[in-house]
Amino acid sequence: FDDEDEIVEKVEYLLNSNFEVKDYVTKYQYATTFMISHMNRLKLELKNYQKKTIEFCKTTDKVILSVSMGLGKTAAVLHYIDYAKPKKLLIVAPKFVALNVWKQEAEKWGLSELAEKLTIVHGPKTKRMKLIGENSHLIVTRDNLNDVRDMEVDLLVMDELTSFKNHESQRSDAI
């Protein structure tokens, strides 16, 4: 693959096709792994729309990024986080994304100081609570949101916000 568009095209094809996945749990995981491995081979440079996203984030304290998959929301947000340098950061994401995307993307984009601070909160409750107490930049899954219910943060990132559309759910209540 010679450019990002070709990779995104292939990922879209993978997600929309009826192939069997053997070593991966879902087509989404397979497609994401495929995309990350191929994107790493390209020279990483933010696109103009990503730079504009970062600049916009600097002007306000509440932002919703409603952009299609594969267009670099995570990279733009990570660069904004690197700029903002929050003392307390909370990223809430679906399990696969929390465990496999945010920290790896920071590393991929050369944001090594940020990547080192990012702590994936996962495992038994005692382990999660220890990680929460000892770290300032947390990545939690939506299902473990109650662990950080009373936490005050400087910056909150909600990945896949649509999963919080029911305002009466326990998950939404934890926010």
Q: What is the C-alpha R_g of the chain? A: 17
Q: What is the pTM of this model?
A: 0.70
Say if CB 137 and CB 119 are below 8 A apart.
yes
pLDDT in tens, 131-143: 999 999 999 998 8
Under the banding of pLDDT at 50, 70 and 90, the label for residue 155 is very high
Q: Which alpha helices (DSSP H) does 17-166 contain, by range?
A: 27-39, 48-57, 73-84, 95-100, 102-108, 112-117, 125-134
pLDDT in tens, 65-121: 877 778 889 999 999 999 999 999 999 999 999 999 999 999 888 898 999 999 999
Q: Is the pLDDT of residue 33 over 70?
A: no
The burial of 19, by beta-carbon neighbours within 10 Å (0-12 exposed, 13-18 middle, 19 or more buried), is given as: exposed
What is the pLDDT at residue 42?
A: 56
Sign for the pseudo-dihedral over CA of 76, 79, 84, 85: positive
Say if CB 27 and CB 19 are below 8 A apart.
yes
Instruction: Locate 64 and state its tokens.
Output: 């919703």
Q: Is the pLDDT of residue 174 over 80?
A: no
Under the banding of pLDDT at 50, 70 and 90, the label for residue 60 is confident
Strand partners, 158: 92
Distance of CA 139 to the CA centre of its chain: 8
What is the pLDDT at residue 105?
A: 92
